[in-house]
Structure 1
Amino acid sequence: MEVALARPVERLPRGTGLAYEPKFDGHRVVLLRDPGRVLLQARSGRIVTDAFPDLVTAAEALPAGTVLDGEVVVWTEGRTDFAAVQKRAMARRGRAAELARRLPASYAAFDLLATGTTDLRPLPYRRRRAALTHLLAPVGPPVQAVPMTTDEEVASLWYETLTANGIEGLVVKRLDGPYRGGRRDWRKLRHSDTRDAVVAGVTGSRTHPRALAVVLPGDDTPVLTSPLAPAVRAQLAGALAALPPGGEPAAAGAVTTDGTPYLPVPPVLTVEVRQSSTRHPLTTVSRLRLPE
């Protein structure tokens, strides 16, 4: 299932008929509740059901035919922790249960695409939102609706204050807009072009990395960074060499979004990256994020 997308903007959109939601720093997942099972699909189309047994159990309370779009997040000391959620998303079944106990996940639903046999995507957002909150009210955490406001001043306050909780910014939708997969009808306002990303692999070698394959918040398909600056390369070479051998077996033969093969590494390192806003954006590694 193709998900709806958002285009970046540089200032808070204002005007009538707009809805504002916090933009969570997590892993985009479509949740499908079929009769007798729950299915979790990442933005790329990859099925990640086995990685989140805690969410599967929670979603069994939903009625059959429910299809949600949302973000899987992991909270650490009151902040969203993208490195933790990516670790969970890459886990195979044997390790997933143990990670679920140590790093429990939450599902922040921001759209309801279907209920029963009814496709809600053609309906305006205001109706989908009302149906979403009504559906999830009796379910409760860890499956819950993201906050939403139509008040510009409240949205501005969220934008200024929720960074302390790891919120990236805001997503803005038209109240009368349908849900159109693959289209950038929504808008997103981030605090800056600087983001944290999880290192999924390297080109070159661990001791002499040329570039990184990194996973950005809201996605699960690695992108290739631009060539590493000498100082960053030296910093990363030491950190990569200290990692245990091998990467996730599921990543064997993996390639980035542009088809570049890379050497997988365990998803435990986080880097700060900057993204350009050009037609063909570049992802540049600024530094290795060290544990606080």
Structure 2
Amino acid sequence: MALTPPVQPMLAEARSEVPPARALPGGLAFEQKPDGYRALLFAGPGRAYLQSRRGADLGAAFIEIAAAGRALSVPLVLDGELVVAQEGRLDFGQLQQRSRRRGAGARLAARETPAHLIVFDVLDTADGPLLDEPYRARRALLETLFADGVLAAPFVLCPATTDRAIADDWLDPAWGAAGIEGVVVKGLSQKYQPGRRGWIKVRARASAEAVVAAVTGRVTAPSTLLLGRYDSHGRLRFIARTVPLSATARREVGGLLYPGDDTHPWEGVRFSAAWGTREAIDHRPVQPDVVVEFAGDTAIDAGRYRHPVRYLRVRDDVSPDQLPPVGA
């Protein structure tokens, strides 16, 4: 094959809604966006290299995917999403745990929480690279590889459609509960351009309520809100941080907040500024008695939103003790 690792994957630009048909060349195709790790697999008889989005080798952690790659009857370069399914939904937390295991631990994890590669593109074959082929041709070949049995479990064909109504259904939060984050929109005539944000990603979003338990910036005019909900044991758990508030929202919320005292459950507690980072948020606890409604995507782990959420409004008709506990 012509392609060798590392290859930068083609990327998607985030949008708030599905674009019109003219947004990308040749009409639109829609694919489900599973909640997992992006991965490219360079594989063929007796060899396999599982590459992360940033170029690292994931094969030692996901040994069953690498083994399936070595067992392929033909050489292929595949692009897809690594996932782990648990109890009827994709489990990003389990996937993270799997990514850190090696050796005997990786072998045990492969048996107990097996991974799959949801494949949405084929970039190279024994006949040559396909980067300059249109999406519709690459997709047709990928479907044939599955139909002919060349690709089978643990490989899974990513659902795709040209029907916008079906794509809109995939944006329903009910799909989010199963681990589908939204849709990726691609042009039927698009080539595969490594490293370019040429696709469009639209996340499913739903609203929920939480109590304002801390802020960044001034309490009377907060920059962002740190939101919490109580668990079944009465502990106030951090579940989300908002994106920066508008000037109107700062006045609206800030006028209702009061600083917390040294008995506040988050006094002295450290929260990371972003998922997977060690940088701490410089936050100020406030009395946890103001409930707000927010909009967030469906990437939620153990009750915590992985991405920033968007403040919608104050819910002065709801008290903190009326909120469902974390995980409910």
Asked if these proteins are the same fold (TM beyond 0.5), I'd say yes
Q: Any residues of structure 2 matched to 1:1-292 within 5 Å, and which?
A: 1-15=7-21, 17-137=27-147, 138=149, 139-160=151-172, 161-192=174-205, 209=270, 211=272, 214-215=275-276, 223=277, 227=281, 229=283, 271-275=304-308
Gap runs ≥5 in structure 2:
1-6, 208-238, 241-267, 287-300, 311-324
Amino acid at match of 2:308: Q
Q: 1:175 to 1:224 in 2, by over 3 A?
A: farther
Q: What residue is the counterpart of 1:280 in the other structure?
A: none
1:24/1:167 contact within 8 Å kept: yes
User: How much has 1:169 moved relative to structure 2?
Assistant: 0.4
2:78/2:123 contact within 8 Å kept: yes
Amino acid at match of 2:9: V
2:84/2:116 contact within 8 Å kept: yes
TM-score normalised according to structure 2 size = 0.63
In structure 1, distance between residues paired with 2:35 and 2:285:
27
Q: What residue is the counterpart of 1:253 in the other structure?
A: none
Amino acid at match of 1:32: F
Percent identity, aligned pairs only, is: 37
Q: 1:99 to 1:71 in 2, by over 3 A?
A: same
TM-score normalised according to structure 1 size = 0.70
Q: 1:19 to 1:66 in 2, by over 3 A?
A: same
Q: 1:164 to 1:65 in 2, by over 3 A?
A: same
In structure 1, distance between residues paired with 2:274 and 2:100:
14
Q: 1:41 to 1:10 in 2, by over 3 A?
A: same
User: How much has 1:193 moved relative to structure 2?
Assistant: 9.5
Amino acid at match of 1:86: Q
1:67/1:112 contact within 8 Å kept: yes
1:83/1:270 contact within 8 Å kept: no
In structure 1, distance between residues paired with 2:77 and 2:17:
32
Q: What residue is the counterpart of 1:251 in the other structure?
A: none
Gap runs ≥5 in structure 1:
198-206, 216-222, 233-267, 278-288
User: How much has 1:65 moved relative to structure 2?
Assistant: 2.6
Q: What residue is the counterpart of 1:243 in the other structure?
A: none
2:45/2:71 contact within 8 Å kept: no
User: How much has 1:156 moved relative to structure 2?
Assistant: 1.2
User: How much has 1:271 moved relative to structure 2?
Assistant: 3.9
Q: Which structure is richer in relative contact order (CA contacts within 8 A, separation 6 or more)?
A: 1
In structure 2, distance between residues paired with 1:105 and 1:272:
23
